[in-house]
């Protein structure tokens, strides 16, 4: 098998595993909760409605501050953009390949634009939140 084809299988297999394994584990947890409920009902045990709701709905995450989460995403994206830019500069200077800088600036520009957009959204969210209070 050609090493390029093998690399593609490894890459897409890795992506599939990252996406599918958490979904499978979540479904398995739900199935075990349903099995536990059915066993309790077969034995004639009384089930607390709060416990039943918790088992059937799963864990509910507390609602986070949307503006804070958006600001954090924006800062991370801006950091990645700066990292790509610096990496492109270092690679082009160390190898003498000037096209490396241009190639690394494409993802840096995309991530930078997204980072700026997320940061602006966070500022707008904070202003709207302050105005509503």
Q: Would you kindly state where each structural domain of the chain is located, as residue ranges?
A: 1-60, 63-133
Which residues are CB-neighbours of 105 under 8 A, at least 6 positions away?
84, 85, 88
CB 47 within 8 A of CB 41: yes
Q: How far apart are CA 30 and CA 37, in angstroms?
A: 11
Q: Which tens digit of pLDDT belongs to each residue from 103-126?
A: 899 999 999 999 999 999 999 998
This prediction's pTM: 0.56
How confident is the model over 40-63, as a mean pLDDT? 73
Q: How far apart are CA 102 and CA 59, in angstroms?
A: 46
| Alpha-carbon dihedral sign for residues 111, 114, 120, 122 | negative
Please report the pLDDT score of residue 1 as a whole number. 60
């Amino acid at each position: 098998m050609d090493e390029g084809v093998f690399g593609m299988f490894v890459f897409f297999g890795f992506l599939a595993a990252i996406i599918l394994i958490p979904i499978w584990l979540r479904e398995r947890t739900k199935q075990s909760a349903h099995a536990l409920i059915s066993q309790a009902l077969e034995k004639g045990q009384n089930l607390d409605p709060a416990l039943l709701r918790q088992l059937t709905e799963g864990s509910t995450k507390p609602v986070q501050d949307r503006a804070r989460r958006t600001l954090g995403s924006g800062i991370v994206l801006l950091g990645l953009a700066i990292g790509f830019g610096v990496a492109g500069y270092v690679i082009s200077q160390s190898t003498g390949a000037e096209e490396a800088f241009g190639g690394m600036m494409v993802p840096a520009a995309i991530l930078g634009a997204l980072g700026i957009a997320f940061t602006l959204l966070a500022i707008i969210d904070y202003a709207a939140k302050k105005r509503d209070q």
